Amino acid sequence: MASAHTTSYAPLTEDTEADVTVIGGGMAGISTAWELSRTGRRVIVLEADRIAAGVTGYTTAKLTALHTLVYDKLRRTRGGGAALQYAVSQQGAVERVAEVAQELGIECELERFPAYTYVRDPAGTDALRAEADAAREAGLPAAYVTETGLPFEVAGAVRVEDQLLFHPRKYLLALAEDLREHGGEVYERTRATGLHEGAPCRVTTETGATVTSREVVVATHYPVFDRALLFTRLSPRRELVVAAPIEADRDVQGMYITEEEGKRSVRTAPYGTDRRLLVVTGEQFPPGTGDAVARFRRLAEWTERHFPGTDVAYRWAAQDNDSTDTVPLIGPFHPGARHTYVATGFGGWGLSGGALAGRLIAGLISGDPPPWANLYDPRRLWGPVREAPAFLSHQAKVAQHFIGDRLRTTHVDSVDEIPPGTGAVVRIGARRCAVYRDEDGTVQAVSARCTHLGCLVAFNAAETAWECPCHGSRFSTEGTVLNGPALRPLEQLDIGSDV
Ligand SMILES: Cc1cc2nc3c(=O)[nH]c(=O)nc-3n(C[C@H](O)[C@H](O)[C@H](O)COP(=O)(O)OP(=O)(O)OC[C@H]3O[C@@H](n4cnc5c(N)ncnc54)[C@H](O)[C@@H]3O)c2cc1C
Ligand code: FES
């Protein structure tokens, strides 16, 4: 966000028509809109805030087909053919970004490096050997190795050659401009608030203007207008990121990930003329749970311990959704959908996944889907439930929050107990209020009931935001929606005379 220009496309203010409406301007939405514009269709992108400033603006931007330990799992659960299709489609997406960047002359810091999944605990090496074997069998240039470019020893690693690092905002902002030059339109600060499926479809927006189009793509990260109840198949996971400048001769020459220690992911990016920016991700947790301040501290300490002499200069957080069977949900929106599509459930790999969604949805709309389309079809989850244990476990957690939160009397007993700079849920009369007290002592109160399905929100002190543990909606202290699936803000409350 600090190293690419900002955008200021106007909101949609008048009713309009298009061939395709794409809702959401992240990696998935802009890639899909751009691919569709190349088929000659007139495409409109509706973005609630600014494009490439959602999860895509706060990602770590490894563009790779090595997704931790996916190949062995796929081989075991869906067969070698599925693992092969996954490898072909994901590596194809990696190369598609390189190809498009070259075709349009986009300077987006593309660099080729190997990608590694590593373990430090010898007990994990069998799983890595199996992964290396499954990835190689699926056609990737994969090997099991014990040497990496990290400044500490590992017990073992899967290494896949020729993967990419890039700057997703620089890439997507250029795609959006090219889309406009080819007759497409981009509207920012235009949240879609309603979807009427039909022939044609109609999308209503918060500005009051509507878009009528034959096809609609929902690329809002967590799907809105979720008729297939996909939210029951997705679990949100928030991750923290810290970044520190390092000397160029300390570069790690690759991209790394481990599931150990609550996950650690490492890459570097260009930084000024003679340094690199070390980017470390980890400490994943369900939104609205635990102490994000302590987690940030742990991640910074890990970084400074493993890369001595570094000073963390940036920190941020974002979240992604895991599907219950690990594979993203990209394709028809629901079992009866004829002209609506969705792209979600990227499980931490939505840069290759978003580029892939562009190719897949453009193929479906053009009547020329790629041969691996069925692997990602969201409707697969409505057959016999292969992923039943993960599904049931997620739903049990949601039920626990839904019922448990309501039974809890209060989170604190009175507004007086809330110190400056923090927030808590307080029962005032019959209501649960989410109350934030700023550093000057001014109190801001909103309803604590998430506007998605009514779970109680919890305060994240590290990011000064209210988070819903059920499906990951996030709200500012004024109640504005920061992340869906919620569409409506938390109701503002005047508790002045009640405090
Ligand atoms: C910390 C972190 C690190 C990651 N690192 C990597 C990585 O190294 N490699 C990788 O491949 N993936 C990575 N991922 C995952 C990847 O960043 C995401 O999967 C991907 O960016 C998701 O793109 P998206 O387009 O689905 O979502 P977004 O980028 O969030 O875009 C969705 C857009 O929809 C808009 N929107 C929402 N609701 C509405 C509405 N009602 N109307 C209009 N617009 C709406 C939002 O404002 C947003 O701009 C990482 C994720 C995290 C959290
Ligand atoms: S996000 Fe679903 S209830 Fe809050």
- For residue 428, the domain's CATH number is 2.102.10.10
Based on the domain organization, do 335 and 215 belong to the same domain? yes
What range defines the domain where residue 340 resides? 16-58+169-232+326-388
Domain tally, the chain: 2
What is the reported pLDDT for 393?
65
pLDDT at residue 402 is higher than 60: no
Torsion-angle region of residue 248: left (phi > 0), alpha (psi -120 to 50) or beta? alpha
pLDDT at residue 1 is higher than 90: yes
Question: Is 359 within 8 Å of 92 (Cβ atoms)?
Answer: yes
**413 confidence band (pLDDT: 50, 70, 90):** confident
**Amino acid in position 441:** G
pTM above 0.85, yes or no: yes
Based on the domain organization, do 417 and 490 belong to the same domain? yes
What is the reported pLDDT for 391?
63
pLDDT at residue 388 is higher than 80: no
Tell me the C-alpha to C-alpha distance, in Å, between residue 160 and each of 202, 241, 349, 356, 379: 44, 24, 16, 19, 31
- Determine if ligand 1 sits within 6 Å of the CB of residue 187: no
| 49-58, 345-354, 456-465: least confidently modelled range | 456-465
pLDDT at residue 287 is higher than 50: yes
Residues 341, 159: Cα–Cα separation, whole Å: 34
pLDDT at residue 81 is higher than 80: yes
207 falls within a domain = yes
| 32-46, 62-76, 386-400: least confidently modelled range | 386-400
How does pLDDT run across 261-286, given as a tens digit for each residue? 989 999 999 999 899 999 999 999 98
- Determine if ligand 2 sits within 6 Å of the CB of residue 60: no
- Portion of the chain with pLDDT greater than 90, in percent: 79
What is the reported pLDDT for 430?
78
Determine the residue of 230, 470, 481, 482 to mutate for testing ligand 2's pocket, defined as the one with the most ligand atoms within 8 A of the Cβ atom: 470
**383 confidence band (pLDDT: 50, 70, 90):** low
Pick the most confident of 49-53, 221-225, 390-394, 480-484.
49-53
Stretch 106-117: mean pLDDT: 98
pLDDT at residue 135 is higher than 70: yes
What is the reported pLDDT for 406?
47
Question: Is 280 within 8 Å of 241 (Cβ atoms)?
Answer: yes
94 falls within a domain = no
| 327-336, 394-403, 446-455: least confidently modelled range | 394-403
What is the reported pLDDT for 489?
94
64 falls within a domain = no
Based on the domain organization, do 191 and 47 belong to the same domain? yes
pLDDT at residue 409 is higher than 50: no
What is the reported pLDDT for 397?
64
278 falls within a domain = no
225 falls within a domain = yes
- Portion of the chain with pLDDT greater than 70, in percent: 93
pLDDT at residue 155 is higher than 80: yes
pLDDT at residue 384 is higher than 60: no
Name the one residue in this structure whose structure tokens are 């940030």.
296
pLDDT at residue 398 is higher than 70: no
pLDDT at residue 249 is higher than 50: yes
Residues 314, 310: Cα–Cα separation, whole Å: 12
Give φ, ψ of 231 to 5 degrees. -60, -25
| b/e burial code for range 197-206 (CB count within 10 A of at least 16 → b) | beebbbbebb
Q: Which atom of ligand 2 is nearest to 222's Cα? A: 1
- Determine if ligand 2 sits within 6 Å of the CB of residue 486: yes
Stretch 293-309: mean pLDDT: 95
Nearest CA to ligand 2 atom 2: 471
| 77-86, 103-112, 326-335, 456-465: least confidently modelled range | 456-465
Based on the domain organization, do 212 and 182 belong to the same domain? yes
Based on the domain organization, do 490 and 419 belong to the same domain? yes
Stretch 374-401: mean pLDDT: 68
pLDDT at residue 410 is higher than 60: no
pLDDT at residue 408 is higher than 70: no
Based on the domain organization, do 228 and 354 belong to the same domain? yes
The better pLDDT of the pair 422, 410 is held by 422
Based on the domain organization, do 478 and 337 belong to the same domain? no
Based on the domain organization, do 484 and 353 belong to the same domain? no
Based on the domain organization, do 201 and 330 belong to the same domain? yes
**Amino acid in position 400:** Q
Nearest CA to ligand 2 atom 1: 471
- Determine if ligand 1 sits within 6 Å of the CB of residue 345: no
Tell me the C-alpha to C-alpha distance, in Å, between residue 355 and each of 41, 95, 352, 493: 18, 10, 5, 42
CATH number at residue 201: 3.50.50.60
- Determine if ligand 1 sits within 6 Å of the CB of residue 239: yes
3-state secondary structure of 435: strand
Nearest CA to ligand 1 atom 12: 349
How does pLDDT run across 222-247, given as a tens digit for each residue? 898 887 788 788 999 999 999 999 99
| 201-205, 286-290, 342-346, 393-397: least confidently modelled range | 393-397
468 falls within a domain = yes
Q: Which atom of ligand 2 is nearest to 484's Cα? A: 1
213 falls within a domain = yes
What is the reported pLDDT for 32?
98
> Residue 55 Cα, ligand 1 centroid: separation in angstroms?
3
Based on the domain organization, do 342 and 475 belong to the same domain? no
316, containing H or E segment:
strand 314-323
What is the reported pLDDT for 382?
64
Based on the domain organization, do 338 and 452 belong to the same domain? no
pLDDT at residue 392 is higher than 80: no
| Ligand approaching nearest to the C-alpha of 167 | 1
481 falls within a domain = yes
Q: Taking the alpha carbons of 212, 214, 217, 218 in that order, is the dihedral positive or negative?
A: positive
pLDDT at residue 109 is higher than 90: yes
Domain boundary among 355, 388, 421: 388
Based on the domain organization, do 362 and 439 belong to the same domain? no
pLDDT at residue 414 is higher than 90: no
Stretch 325-332: mean pLDDT: 96
The better pLDDT of the pair 61, 485 is held by 61
